[in-house]
Structure 1
Amino acid sequence: MRQTVFLHVWLACFSRVLGVAWKDTPIFGSADNPRILIKDSITDGFQYQVYQNHSVFLYLEDSEEMYVGGTDFVLKIDVDSYHIIEELSLTTTEQQCKEGPCQNVITVIEKFQDSLFVCGTNGQKPQCWKLFSPVNNQSHEIIEGTGISPFMHTQNSLYLSVEGDLYSAAPLDTDGSSLQFRRKAGSRTNVWMYDKWVTEPTFISASWVKRKEDPDNEKIYIFFREKNGDVNPEADPWITKVARVCKVDEGGSKRFFQNMWTSFLKARLVCGFPEESLYFNRLQDVYVIHAEDWRDTRVYALFTSSWNSTAVCIYSVGMIEEIFENSTFKGYDKDVPKPRPGTCVKNSRSLPLATVNVVKDHPEMTDWVHSIRRASPFYVSSNNYTKMAVDRVQAADQSMHSILLLSTDSGRMHKVLEVGSKPFVISETQLSSRSSVQSMKIDSKRKKLVVGFSEKISTIDLQRCREYGDTCEDCVLARDPYCSWTRLGCSPTVLGGIQSITDQDIRVCIKSVKEPLSLSVTPSPVDLRTVHSVPLDVPFYLSCPINSYHAVYTWKHGNQTSPCLQMQSNCLHLISAMTQENYGNYECISKERNYTTARKKYQLTEQKVPETQNDGSRHAINAASAFVSRLWVNLGLAVAVMEFRVRCP
């Protein structure tokens, strides 16, 4: 009796601590969670000698090198070995510094004209360097950096290089004020914004959208959030906007609006549930996927909300242009002059005063820009996503699919498939346990993701197909266009490989092009039965791995089924004390869509252990303690065991 009470107390305490310890673990059976967890952190890459509060890198496809900028340095690194090819020190002197830290935090690395263009805070006196290649006679050229680099790395800024011109947004004052988007350097005239067009903006991204057949009508789109003019206490203090300027805009005439954008227009960018008037207003990141037809260019925008949720909304440039070309101008009730305000013209200095005046005083559109999925966001999550990248991937049948790579504030990355109008969360990978992602760059050709952290620059293989399992069904259920089933198992996608990206239909596993491809290279472990010999009255547990958090797991014993107890990435079946009825065969069954399989099989047989009555009592107590301690140790919770023993009798 004493042994039973003792065991029940331990199990009760075990359950309480269990609930706290694994509160962030995905619950299986829910399609909102990542299908699988890739638990090992990515360790390859370049490790900084000192943690960087801010770092940037320039990575170009088809290049064997990348450039990394941190505090007081720029590195040229081999992308395969991560060995340093060249190191450039860009430190400041005490005489250069104003009040505050005397550091040069690199904020800009960009290919600009015939050189590598680098800018930094330079002890709160921003400066830029054009670093020429060794074939040139010059080694570098120094340029004044105010308006390109911020005074401190914590201040908002962005930059964009377009056909030899540099566009940027950075503060003009040390306090971070006078922030605006401008064309700052290059072959064209320097042009800037009228100071009343935006209110306390935070610029997120800028993108040039090409029009091969109409280059004079090409535009640059700027995505930002600004202070909300609605003073209602229930209104979000920030609101997201998209603006555009013409690439050929040279500003107004000498008499009016000289060196000011004559084509600047802006509109509210909506992401949320319009019918409920519930919106995600705080833009965090933007990724643009360009298309042959500029109208089909996709804008993926990541938002957060005041209620601790994040959302992804998708827009097309064609839909954005529809608003700019046809909406009325907010606050303007007169006839719209010709040419229409915002129109791209080769000679912007010749625009009539009436057209420029509308841009000056009423640049905002009355209508809002809605997402492609107008009624709701494409994806809503309770995860705190901070950065996003998007890749277009060709599947085995040559169809194209979009993959969203979303990084969280805790160093994790979610791989999300855009299938139709719905998201499918393929996997979660722990990229770093020390810091969150600072920057990301996709290499579509190599199928790699380059990620910057405070402590390192890492390269992640986007084709980690073996993680999905050893069967065709597991590979197909993953719905990962980077992976397909072949004679070699779940492998990087090749033409003729087996997939079912859209339908997730495992019946394709019985089909083949020339010969059956659904045979695994090695026999599956589910065909093996593990045998345990267990004494009567001893507590025992069975465990099987969770291969998919989209599946539902149950334990089958004879004609009886019971749910499993989820413990992180394991599914447990607990037996408080072995009886004759507990012996026999057990199967851990997973069911996902129309695929049911036994993940693990056990056979429990009785073990005869002679013992005295006193020894039996002692054995039961020790076995109960060992049982619970064994669970903790197996799951890596040695510290929790100590706290657990203190709190529980």
Structure 2
Amino acid sequence: MKRFVLIYIWFAGDFQLVLSIGLKDTPILGSKNNNPRLLSKDIVSGGFVYNVSQNHSVFFYQKDYEEMYVGGTNFVLKLDMDDYHIIEKYPLEATGRQQCQEGPCENVITVIEKFQDSLFVCGTNGNRPQCWKLFSSVNNQSYEIVESYEGTGISPFAYTQNYLSLTVEGDLYSAAPLDMDGSLLQFRRKAGSRTHVWMYDNWVSEPTFISASWVRRVRDPDNEKIYIFFREKNSDHNPEADPWISRVARVCKVDEGGSKRFFQNIWTSFLKARLVCGFPEESLYFNRLQDIYVMHAEDWQDTRVYGLFTSSWNATAVCIYTVGMIEEIFQNSTFKGYDKDIPTPRPGTCVKNSRSLPLATVTMVKDYPEMTDWVHSVHNTAPFFISNNNYTKISVDQVQAADQNMYNILLLATDSGKIHKVLEAGSEPFIISETQLSSNSTIRSMKLDSKRKKLVVGFSEKISTVDLQRCQEYNKSCQECVLARDPYCAWTESGCGPTVAGGIQNIKDGETSVCPSTEEKRQGYRTKRETVSASPADLRTDHSVPLGVPFYLSCPIDSYHAVYTWEHGGQSSPCLQMRSNCLHLIPSMEQESYGSYKCVSKEKDYMKVVKIYQLAEQKMVVTKIITERTEPPRDRNHAPAFVPLIVWIALGQAVAVFGMF
């Protein structure tokens, strides 16, 4: 009985402390700008669990194929995308174990690419990077290694070192250290039919490469370029200056390097510019580029670049650029530090025979590769999205809504194992939902399966799949389906489901006036109130409560963009939020405390009753108090030896309603 007395004291006396702990990682009700509207309850729709936890994993997936390749430590898995069963397993342990110089002798797979009609795989190979060409089963063998290659410059020596890879029309581009300490890092064309080309040493300073992307020009393939996104050490050593500067660079796909006399095997078209994300008018910038997602468009100029940045004040921002805007800087800006006439052809120009470029043009690329002007975002004066969440990865899906318009959905991974689904509709972001995928590990890999509308997420212990068409979350009524502003979902007579032509939506502002009224039918649609919604009787809970005891009421939070209130006796009071519940505390039951209590939510123009409680007085007489002791405690430091029956009832009611214990 002592245990329950302590619970009672904590529950009644330290409620505010408990409330603050509960809200530590929970959105604040009614706050729309930086909080998800919905916290998803159902975790994932499928996935794969590793036998042994992986420190590192890499995904390879092509949208027209039914399988995905996953690289871990000493293996590559070929997984079926529908049910994640293993189709094939390629064991790739480190070779030459006796030559491992330090650390565990493991082969951590870092690169998986389709290259020259085979699967090209590279790994750390016990600090001796190696690459292999893999083919599928032959003569009942589980795998076949056709050839192996020295992998320095393609794979890092350790998975913790910086690297990236890209294949373009049979050529392999990569950035990986040339030395075991992680140094001599640069972007190269490392293998394929074209000449091997690399960077001039002075072009970058301690770079961290983030991403590389080939942007097609169907009508002008000779002018196609490869864009490299990275951050590098700031040359400004002022204590107030940020130590990092974010960059975009580009090289021509047709670049074969300079002549034998000058710049042989060195990029002749390399240019770089500062990538700006922040508030230029206040000189306040997010300077640390974290991740990049490139959304390709039919017109190369409309290709969108989504950059994820962090700042020195622990905030994260998303800025959006177009390749057309980036090219505008490279084609028209002056060259930083150069004040003479610009030679012809202009440095950075793509030519079929780069070895024939004039010395003056190539010399300018060598000495003055940086543009004076900066690349600003589409929104120019401010980032598209700013958050206190520590986002680490970004993907962007494009969805055609019921109104036939295309909408972009940002999928942002946090460092605490969550995915935020953010609508880009105009200049204002709208966080549709938050899905918690893991509470004990961070997201290491992320791949968008746009064809199936799923997001594949890698953790150290598993691969999880997020269904992006989670329309059942908004299936209570037409209004809730519309308020979600989720382009993946629309309201039909069957409820809220994947978007179909003619479905009811209002993606741009979420106003629910598009929904049919409660009584009438419109175009064959029925409101959810008429079909599957809960009746008032289903919402109601009756309780008999004695006089003089504290009592708590609780209702679930359906939307973190709504405002919740408790209505009783013609008066309303705000709710106390604890995690995903709204609470109402009655410190001590009195005669006026009895009656009906309604938990009401209001979001935009939509109001609904979430929960109803009917409290009635419980008449009882306590004739005898039974104790466990025959003697009272000798001092005040001892807990009470007994609890009256009335306290037991109060605790039982509170536990039943609140669901705490």
TM-score (norm 2): 0.92
User: Aligned residue for 2:636?
Assistant: none
User: Aligned residue for 1:349?
Assistant: 355
User: Aligned residue for 2:63?
Assistant: 61
Letter in 1 for 2:644: R
Question: What secondary structure sits across from 1:510 in the alignment?
Answer: coil
User: Aligned residue for 1:195?
Assistant: 201
CA contact (8 A) 2:258 2:355 kept: yes
User: Which structure 2 residues correspond to residues 8-23 of structure 1 after superposition, within 5 A?
Assistant: 10-23=11-24
User: Which structure 2 residues correspond to residues 408-447 of structure 1 after superposition, within 5 A?
Assistant: 408-447=414-453
Q: 1:523 aligns with which of 533, 554, 562?
A: 533
Cα offsets for 1:423-463 (capped at 9, x unmatched): 00010000112211111111112111111111111221111
> Whole-Å Cα distance in 2 between the matches of residues 68 and 9 of structure 1?
49
> Whole-Å Cα distance in 1 between the matches of residues 537 and 644 of structure 2?
38
Cα offsets for 1:508-565 (capped at 9, x unmatched): 0028873234235313255643222222223222111110000110000121111111
User: Aligned residue for 2:632?
Assistant: none
> Whole-Å Cα distance in 2 between the matches of residues 194 and 330 of structure 1?
17
> Whole-Å Cα distance in 2 between the matches of residues 317 and 108 of structure 1?
26
User: Aligned residue for 2:635?
Assistant: none
> Whole-Å Cα distance in 2 between the matches of residues 152 and 18 of structure 1?
45
1:581 lines up with 2:587 in the alignment: no
1:95 lines up with 2:121 in the alignment: no
User: Aligned residue for 2:644?
Assistant: 618
For structure 1, the residue ranges without an aligned partner over 5 or more in a row are 1-5, 639-649
Letter in 1 for 2:103: G
CA contact (8 A) 1:465 1:492 kept: yes
User: Aligned residue for 2:125?
Assistant: 122
1:231 lines up with 2:233 in the alignment: no
User: Aligned residue for 1:383?
Assistant: 389
User: Aligned residue for 1:299?
Assistant: 305
Question: What secondary structure sits across from 1:196 in the alignment?
Answer: helix
Q: 1:557 aligns with which of 547, 554, 568?
A: 568
CA contact (8 A) 2:211 2:229 kept: yes
1:277 lines up with 2:288 in the alignment: no
Q: Displacement of 1:470 after TM fit? A: 0.8
Letter in 2 for 1:168: S
Instruction: Report the more deviating stretch, 502-511 or 382-391.
Output: 502-511
> Whole-Å Cα distance in 1 between the matches of residues 461 and 237 of structure 2?
42
Distance 1:631 1:516, change over 3 A: closer
> Whole-Å Cα distance in 1 between the matches of residues 402 and 455 of structure 2?
21
Letter in 2 for 1:244: R
Q: Displacement of 1:601 after TM fit? A: 1.5
> Whole-Å Cα distance in 2 between the matches of residues 596 and 113 of structure 1?
60
Instruction: Report the more deviating stretch, 461-470 or 87-96.
Output: 87-96
Letter in 2 for 1:444: S
User: Aligned residue for 2:513?
Assistant: 507
Question: What secondary structure sits across from 1:176 in the alignment?
Answer: coil
> Whole-Å Cα distance in 2 between the matches of residues 484 and 121 of structure 1?
47
Distance 1:7 1:129, change over 3 A: closer
User: Aligned residue for 2:81?
Assistant: 79
Q: How many residues align structurally? A: 632
Instruction: Report the more deviating stretch, 416-425 or 20-29.
Output: 20-29
User: Aligned residue for 2:581?
Assistant: 570
TM-score (norm 1): 0.94
User: Aligned residue for 1:47?
Assistant: 49
User: Which structure 2 residues correspond to residues 293-332 of structure 1 after superposition, within 5 A?
Assistant: 293-332=299-338
CA contact (8 A) 1:539 1:627 kept: no
> Whole-Å Cα distance in 1 between the matches of residues 403 and 45 of structure 2?
33
RMSD of Structure 2 on Structure 1 (CA): 2.2
Q: Displacement of 1:195 after TM fit? A: 0.4
User: Aligned residue for 1:548?
Assistant: 559
Cα offsets for 1:394-441 (capped at 9, x unmatched): 001211000000011110110000010110001000011221111111
User: Which structure 2 residues correspond to residues 364-513 of structure 1 after superposition, within 5 A?
Assistant: 364-510=370-516
Letter in 1 for 2:37: R
Cα offsets for 1:145-203 (capped at 9, x unmatched): 01000000000000001110000000000000000001000111000000000000000
> Whole-Å Cα distance in 2 between the matches of residues 246 and 535 of structure 1?
80
Letter in 1 for 2:380: R
Instruction: Report the more deviating stretch, 260-269 or 455-464.
Output: 455-464
Question: What secondary structure sits across from 2:106 in the alignment?
Answer: coil
Question: What secondary structure sits across from 2:27 in the alignment?
Answer: coil
User: Aligned residue for 1:647?
Assistant: none
Q: In percent, how many aligned pairs have the same letter?
A: 70
Q: 1:107 aligns with which of 105, 110, 118?
A: 110
> Whole-Å Cα distance in 1 between the matches of residues 65 and 544 of structure 2?
59
CA contact (8 A) 2:92 2:107 kept: yes
> Whole-Å Cα distance in 2 between the matches of residues 245 and 153 of structure 1?
27
> Whole-Å Cα distance in 2 between the matches of residues 313 and 525 of structure 1?
46
For structure 2, the residue ranges without an aligned partner over 5 or more in a row are 1-6, 627-641
CA contact (8 A) 1:282 1:304 kept: yes
Q: Displacement of 1:469 after TM fit? A: 3.8
CA contact (8 A) 1:526 1:599 kept: no
Cα offsets for 1:623-649 (capped at 9, x unmatched): 4555666677x24xx6xxxxxxxxxxx
User: Aligned residue for 1:267?
Assistant: 273
Distance 1:77 1:9, change over 3 A: closer
> Whole-Å Cα distance in 2 between the matches of residues 10 and 531 of structure 1?
22
